[in-house]
Amino acid sequence: MALRSWLFVPGDSERKLAKAPLSGADVVIVDLEDAVAPEAKPAARRLAAEWLHVHRRQVTEGPAQAHWVRINSLGTDWWRGDLDVVLAGAPAGIVLPKCTGPEQLRQLSAELYECEQRHGLAIGSTRIMPLAGETPAAALSIPAYAAACANAELPRLAGLTWGAEDLSTALDATRKRSGSAHHGAGEWTDALRIVRAHVLLTAHASGVLAVDTLYANFRDLDGLASIAAASRADGFCGMLAIHPDQVPVINAAFSASEADLAQARAIVAAFAANPGAAALQLDGRMIEPPHLAQARRLLGLAG
Give the whole-angstrom CA distance, residue 169 versus residue 158: 27
pLDDT of residue 63: 67
Topology given in CATH for the domain delimited by 5-255: TIM Barrel (3.20.20)
pLDDT of residue 183: 46
Residue 187 per-residue DSSP state: P
Task: Using CA atoms of 181, 182, 187, 192 in order, give the dihedral in degrees to the nearest 10.
Answer: 100
Strand partners, 131: 161
pLDDT of residue 181: 41
Q: Are 96 and 129 in contact (CB under 8 A)?
A: yes
Q: Are 47 and 75 in contact (CB under 8 A)?
A: no
pLDDT of residue 303: 63
Domain boundaries, the chain: 5-255, 259-299
Rounded to 5°, angle at Cα 148 from 205 and 292: 20
Give the whole-angstrom CA distance, residue 131 versus residue 161: 5
Cα 117 off chain centre by:
26
**Residue 182 phi, psi (nearest 5):** -125, -95
pLDDT of residue 300: 75
Q: What is the pLDDT along the chain (303 residues), one digit of tens a residue?
A: 789 999 999 999 999 999 999 999 999 999 999 989 999 999 999 999 999 999 886 555 556 899 999 999 999 999 999 999 999 999 999 999 999 999 999 999 999 999 999 999 999 999 999 999 999 999 999 999 999 999 999 999 999 999 999 999 999 999 898 865 444 567 899 999 999 999 999 999 999 999 999 999 999 999 999 999 999 999 999 999 999 999 999 999 999 777 777 888 888 887 888 887 777 788 878 888 878 887 887 777 776
**Residue 161 phi, psi (nearest 5):** -140, 180
Count of Cβ atoms closer than 10 Å to residue 56 Cβ: 12
Q: Are 17 and 30 in contact (CB under 8 A)?
A: yes
Give the whole-angstrom CA distance, residue 62 versus residue 64: 7
Q: Are 159 and 203 in contact (CB under 8 A)?
A: yes
Cα 247 off chain centre by:
13
pLDDT of residue 58: 58
pLDDT of residue 245: 98
pLDDT of residue 59: 53
